[in-house]
Amino acid sequence: MSDQAERSRPETARRIETVNPATGEPGRSYQETSLDDALAAAAAARAAFLKWRRTSFAERSAVIHKAAEILRARKDEFARLMTAEMGKTFGEGRAEIEKSAFHCDWFADHAESYLAEEPVDLGNGETFVTFNPIGVVLAVMPWNFPFWQVFRFAAPALMAGNGALLKHASNVPGCALAIEEVLHEAGVPRDLFRTLLLPSREVEPLIKDANVAAVTLTGSVAAGRSVASAAGSVLKKCVLELGGSDAYLILEDANIPAAAKVAATARMVNGGQSCIAGKRFVVVRPILAEFEKALVEAIGAFQIGDPAEEGTKLGPMVSVKARDEIHEQVTASIAKGARLLLGGKVPDRPGAWYPATVLSDVRPGQPAHDEEVFGPVAAIIAAEDEADAIRIANDSEFGLGSGVLTGDLARGRRIAAEELEAGMSFVNENVRSDPRAPFGGVKHSGYGRECSAYGMREFVNIKTVHIKDAATVGGQHRAE
């Protein structure tokens, strides 16, 4: 592990205790980073950035490609670390590491073209736009994709020439330190990227520190408001990827068994603990009963099991507290008229377990309709027709992802492109993030973008440069 696990700390420093969600048993403990140490790390990162920004794209690319190589070589180790700290199934953990490595390779290969100078025609002289790194980016990251979320910001930020500080979720400190270790082993200067096991109460002073240039957060709406307020108070750029209550429209011309499989995959990714998981399935009435039956069958295939074993499709929730909150949303929705089609009962066993659950007759006023349910609970909502389905989908404070399931591709394309209020909309497939396409949301799902050239340019200075021949300054040609 990173040297931070062994770094000396004051005796009064608090410790972070991890818990295995599958068993409830305690795991490793780590000392928190003090605010003084975090501020010192920010100053050191700023100094390291001033050197790193002068490196070539080729030099940075070699380092980030090496990080991808290390990730792949240690894939099983890191997957098991995620399983132990936040309950991700081993199979999904391996896939997450592969995705992180692909992301590193993508930006190592494409950063230079994404940030290439762009010419502008002003009619005289030379004008171009250049993209320069802005400094140290502070990332406040969540637990649900503990490697992917970090590399999603880190690879483009480092390739752009920036420095980076990571404040990860408190329940995945081992993952946070492992990421630091990977990047340092790959050749990222020690001070340029640092993991800070900083408590949330100390994040605001770090945001406001002069050595931090910008902030990126993936987290809850409340966390987004807090970070945005702190960053705004000192006029610093921030990118926010917040919650989601993604709606998928299932129209009367859909292939119902295929649509149910897409919906189940969309809902059950990471045990339902994903901002872009499908959460609301808006079904037109003529096919409602048939779709209910198909979705129960498809989601019923996700049986809970040991997350450390190959082939397990549903592991525990991240914590007993989170599981209990999900169950409260389910029971409150049923009390207000929702119909339970599958699951909905807390297993009698230690750990944070909750079964795959399907609710129908979901309506406004029920938590399953109005709130983000961050677990394996699918909500079926009836719509009268296409227009009503679009209205229901857009009747949400969130706007991250969305989907359309239809046999008419032109219809699906129109609805996805023009009608749904979301940062992403997929037709006949579940929404996912990818380094090649911009990722982000609207409304309370946040602002700014990650991935692709759009995301990479969030944390650079987009500068216009104009050059006029000195011989023509003032409208007069200078004598030779």
How confident is the model over 138-151, as a mean pLDDT?
98
pLDDT of residue 3: 45
The average pLDDT across 337-349 equals: 97
Closest of 413, 410, 444, 408 to residue 426, by C-alpha: 413
pLDDT (tens digit per residue) in 378-423: 999 999 999 999 999 999 999 999 999 999 999 999 999 999 999 9
CA nearest 376: which of 277, 268, 287, 289? 268
* Per-residue pLDDT at 61 exceeds 90: yes
Supply the DSSP string of 157-175, one letter for each residue. Answer: HHHTT-EEEEE--TT-HHH
The C-alpha angle with vertex 443 and arms to 432 and 261, in degrees rounded to 5, equals 30
Distance CA 313, CA 138 (A): 34
Q: Confidence class of residue 136 from pLDDT cuts 50, 70 and 90?
A: very high
Asked whether 419 and 215 are in contact (CB, 8 A), the reply is: no
Single out the residue of 355, 224, 208, 338 nearest to residue 280, CA to CA. Answer: 338
What gap in Å lies between CA 267 and CA 111, rounded to an integer? 33
Reference 265, options 293, 302, 307, 291; nearest CA is 302
> Is pLDDT of 157 > 70?
yes
Q: What is the pTM of this model?
A: 0.94
Q: What is the mean pLDDT of residues 11-34?
A: 90
Kindly list the distances between the CA atom of residue 332 and the CA atoms of 337, 434, 478, in Å, as whole numbers in the listed order: 9, 36, 81
Kindly tell me if the per-residue pLDDT of 75 is higher than 70: yes
For residue 469, what pLDDT is reported?
86
pLDDT at 206: 98
d(CA 248, CA 427): 9
Average pLDDT score over residue span 260-272? 98
pLDDT at 11: 42
Point out the least confidently predicted range of 5-19, 75-89, 109-123, 448-462.
5-19
| pLDDT digits 0-9 by tens, 169-188 | 999 999 999 999 999 999 99
pLDDT at 4 over 80: no
**Residue 31 pLDDT:** 96
For all residues of the chain together, what is the average pLDDT? 95
Distance of CA 345 to the CA centre of its chain: 29
> What is residue 10's predicted lDDT score, i.e. its pLDDT?
44
Helix ranges, 187-268 (H): 203-208, 221-233, 256-268
Q: Report the first-to-last Cα separation within the chain, whole angstroms.
A: 66
CB-based contacts of 133: which residues, under 8 Å, 6+ apart? 49, 53, 160, 161, 162, 459, 460, 461
Residue 314, pLDDT score = 98
366/313 Cα distance (integer angstroms): 28
pLDDT in tens, 288-324: 999 999 999 999 999 999 999 999 999 999 999 999 9
- Inform me whether the pLDDT recorded for 6 exceeds 50: no
Taking the mean position of all CA atoms in its chain, how far away is CA 191?
25
Q: Tell the residue number behind the tokens 């490609």, with chain if given.
A: 65
Model confidence band, residue 471 (pLDDT cutoffs 50, 70, 90):
confident
CA distance 229 to 12: 30
Residue positions annotated with a catalytic role: 241, 275
Band (pLDDT 50/70/90 cuts) for residue 12 is low
Predicted local confidence at residue 89, as pLDDT: 98
pLDDT (tens digit, 9 = 90+) per residue, 413-458? 999 999 999 999 999 999 999 999 999 999 999 999 999 999 999 9
Which residues sit opposite 38 in a β-bridge?
none
Q: What percent of the chain has pLDDT over 90?
A: 95
Q: Using the predicted structure, report yes or no on whether residue 269 has a pLDDT greater than 60.
A: yes
pLDDT per residue as tens digits for the range 186-236: 999 999 999 999 999 999 999 999 999 999 999 999 999 999 999 999 999
pLDDT exceeds 50 at position 9: no
Which DSSP letter does residue 451 get? Answer: S
Q: What is the pLDDT of residue 474?
A: 60
Q: Rg (Cα) of the chain, in Å, rounded?
A: 24
Instruction: Please tell me which residue, 88 or 7, carries the higher pLDDT value.
Output: 88
Residue 284: pLDDT over 70: yes
- Residue 34, pLDDT above cutoff 80: yes
Predicted confidence (pLDDT) at residue 7 exceeds the cutoff of 80: no
d(CA 158, CA 167): 16
Band (pLDDT 50/70/90 cuts) for residue 473 is: low
The three-point CA angle 327-364-374 to 5° equals 35
